[in-house]
Chains A and B, each alone.
Chain A
Amino acid sequence: MTLVLSRVTAHFSDATAHEAPALKDMSFSVPSGSFVSIIGPSGSGKSTLMRVILGLMPHTSGEIVRNFSRPAMVFQNYALFPWLTALDNVAFGLRMDGMDRLERERIAREKLKEVGLAHLEHHYPAALSGGQRQRVGLARALAISPDLLIMDEPFSNLDTITAEALKADLLKIWRAYGMTILMVNHLIPDAIELSDQIIIMGAHPGRVEKTLAIDLPRPRDTRNMRFFKEVDLLTEAIRAIS
């Protein structure tokens, strides 16, 4: 298992030291090399959960077993450093590792090529479209050879065509790298197309409502009956909790 959460609870605290529950008794596990999606309504603490898993926010009780050493993250709003070119953004993690310039630029160019942006390496984020920025974000994550890739709604700011293309590339990359992916998603068909397992979260406070295993064969045909059946099942499960 790459990640195991046992009854994890976390609170938000504001400037007045008032604490509000964000996550309550969350338990689930993420098998190594699997693709797991987290789906749930707004306010269910999906992004908070990602921050807790990465240790960016403390949890107040419960236990997290982190069997990963090189996590990376792709953000909904890209979170690219605006003062760096696409190449330098991708090479950022390697630079922090102390890798020499030639080597890190070689790797960064390779990753940009993998996401189809080799020709834009000298562009700053402001000069890139949303889809291009997200690809740079993905390349930045891949550059550090992560064993766990966390993706926080990576397609939600993209148009359908761009999102479909990026999704196809992501599946190729996942197969090629064999890493574990934990993705926050809000689209049911996407979650079923991509995932081995789907965790459905409830809101106020964020909690695990249901965990579904998706055992459709890969590559998945999004137009056959079994796929639609899984979409129906997941839709029903979400309706039941909301």
Chain B
Amino acid sequence: MLGSITHPQTRALHQAHARRYRRAWVVMTILVAAVLLLAAFGYFGNVAWPTLLKAVLNTTYRLALAYGIALVLGTTLALLVGWSPFADVLFPVFDVLQNVPSFALIPLFIYFFGFTSEMIILFAVSSIIWPILFAVLTAIKSAHKDLNDAATIFGANGLRRIRYYLAPLSFPAMLTGSIVGIAIGWEAVIGAEIITNVAGFGDFIREASASGISQSMIAGTFAILVIVFTVNRLVWAPLLAESSKHYAE
């Protein structure tokens, strides 16, 4: 019965997701097998694993915290601006601000916060926030007029409009903004660690590169790949699948 009712487009989406999911696991399995093979032949003998693990955890912690702050700030700001009558005025202002290259601002962050972990986190926030803010704001601005009218006619007015209409409306955009934001966030955190020498993965690969230990760099890169892949498969992929299932037109 359900099979006959379910829309063919929805079924096709599910099948596409399942295919992508299987392909991703195949790629990961090949990568893991390659690294295990290298490890078995003693390739990673010189790698200081505890130092690497600590560096990767430091970087991941900074990124996670920066993402959390950027998500709350970016989404809240976008929802408030999208809800207010000033969206059209503020959109170009945000557009100019996001075009300022993040790394050009790093001296400013160092000036205010010094060579600290907090500086790196706040610097990463300033990079991650834009894709989230723009994705949410664009979703709100491009919502179908009829859907906006339906929300108004059926009473989603005032602050309730944000909770019951704008927030769920922009959920898929928030997801895609987050994925892009986190990709930018990795660059921001690792780049800032390389520049400032604050302990983390960036600092680890800078030192490994300076001392010519390429095995450490390869092991470190693989560790980051595992984290990126795991987060993608366990967090983003299911959320995207859920979103495309419920938000398909």
Contacts and interface: CB of A to CB of B under 8 A. Distances in A.
Nearest to B154: A93
A43 B119 CA distance: 57
Interface stretch (A70-78, A185-193, A206-214, A215-223): A70-78
A120 interface: yes
A124 interface: yes
A82 B147 CA distance: 10
A96 B164 contact: yes
Nearest to A51: B149
Nearest to B151: A81
Chain B interface SS verdict (over half) = helix
B155 A120 contact: no
Contacts of B150: 73, 75, 79-81
Interface size class for chain B? 20 to 34
Given A56-B149, A73-B149, A140-B154, A123 B249 contact: no
B245 interface: yes
Interface string A1-38: 00000000000000100000000000000000000000
Interface size class for chain A? 20 to 34
B102 to A, nearest CB: 30
Contact of A124 (B144, B152, B171, B245): B245
Q: Which of A54, A71, A83, A120 has the most CB of B within 10 A?
A: A83
Interface of B: 5-7, 9-10, 88, 144, 146-147, 149-157, 160, 164-165, 168-169, 171, 245-249
Rank and list the top 9 A-B pairs by shortest CB-CB distance, nearest first: A96-B155, A93-B154, A79-B146, A126-B248, A79-B150, A83-B168, A75-B146, A82-B247, A127-B7
